[in-house]
Amino acid sequence: MVFQKIKSLLFNFFHFNKQERNGVFVLCIIMVVLFGVRLLMPLLQNDSNTVQLITIAPAAKNVIDEISLNETEDKISSEIKISNERFVFNPNTVSEEDAQKLGMSKKLSATLSNFRNKGGKFFKPEDLKKLYGLPPKLYQELESYILIPNSKSEFKRDTVYPATRSYEKKIYANTLIEINTADSLSIVYLKGIGPGFTKRIMKYRAMLGGFHSLNQLKEVYGMTDSTFTLLSSQIKLDPNSVSKIPINAIDFNSLRKHPYFNFQTAQAVVNFRLKHGKLTEQSFKDLVVFSDEKLRLILPYLSY
């Protein structure tokens, strides 16, 4: 009796009708399909993410090391300035030997000589750029050393001096050079001044708009007291040749580029104009952003 009940209970529990049997069958098929897909998944995946280990042959490794070494040497050579001799020269008369001392190759110096032999001539320093094969970097280094005699200039240079000699200084008695209008050819022959100083003086003069006091030459980079004393005895200046700053019209960016102004002082000028209108000499002094010494330097440059 008990056995019969247990058998009946188990039968009812594990017995599936036709609909349930169909469901179990479909479920089994799905499980088999999923299991098969899981097994085939590695074969179906894209092998783009696989990592390949490549063994570099000794010869290939040497090539890579050589390339790296060449890149390092190129970088070092670009950072180290080639030590060539520098001296004042006239490209119309410089010899091939001296041209090579300046950094030109044998081929380039021969090209220069052939150009002149065929009647070619350089009339201004920029003409040297047209010499075939001249590297732009070399021209930039030589530019301040190029001196081509001008028929209108009282300074003449008909010979080329060896690199081992100092620059020849032609000082004419009782002749003072007006520093605000002098060209580089005039300045470079002053005693104690070379091409480097000439370039600095002209650059700072352009930034200022001209010198209104000889003492301003002390502001040129590298100017020593002894050089200034020597230079000041050979020059004169015309304060009327100074370029004026239209303080009520100049824009902020242009004003801050002047050596005597910076971001804060230029901004103070612009802010005053926006709030109060045009500046006068007195209102400029009242800005309280300049020291008395700086005011003495700036005021001669201002126009209202």
The number of beta carbons lying within 10 Å of the beta carbon of residue 276 is: 9
pLDDT at 160: 38
Cα–Cα dist 145/298, whole Å: 33
pLDDT at 258: 94
The separation between CA 114 and the C-alpha centre of its own chain, rounded to angstroms, equals 34
Whether 120 and 134 have beta carbons less than 8 Å apart is answered as: no
CATH topology of domain 177-241: DNA polymerase; domain 1 (1.10.150)
Residue 237's identity, in one-letter code, is: L
5 exposure class (CB count in 10 Å sphere: 0-12, 13-18, 19+): exposed
pLDDT at 270: 92
Greatest mean pLDDT among 23-27, 158-162, 171-175, 257-261: 257-261
- Domain residue limits, the chain: 81-165, 177-241, 245-303
pLDDT at 7: 67
| pLDDT over 80 at 32, yes or no | yes
Cα(first)–Cα(last) distance of the chain, in Å? 127
The band of 45, judged by pLDDT with boundaries at 50, 70 and 90, is low
pLDDT at 264: 92
266 exposure class (CB count in 10 Å sphere: 0-12, 13-18, 19+): buried
| pLDDT over 80 at 168, yes or no | no
Mean pLDDT of 224-243: 89
Greatest mean pLDDT among 22-26, 68-72, 146-150, 222-226: 222-226
The band of 38, judged by pLDDT with boundaries at 50, 70 and 90, is confident
- CA angle, residues 225, 227, 229, in degrees to nearest 5: 65
195 exposure class (CB count in 10 Å sphere: 0-12, 13-18, 19+): buried
For residue 236, the SS3 value is strand
pLDDT at 25: 83
pLDDT at 80: 35
Within the chain, residue ranges assigned H as helices are: 2-14, 18-44, 58-79, 96-101, 106-117, 136-142, 184-188, 195-208, 225-232, 252-256, 263-276, 281-285, 292-298
% of residues, the chain, pLDDT over 70: 73
Rounded to the nearest integer, the mean pLDDT of the chain is: 77
pLDDT at 274: 93
The strand pairing partners of 178, in sequence order, are 236
The separation between CA 122 and the C-alpha centre of its own chain, rounded to angstroms, equals 29
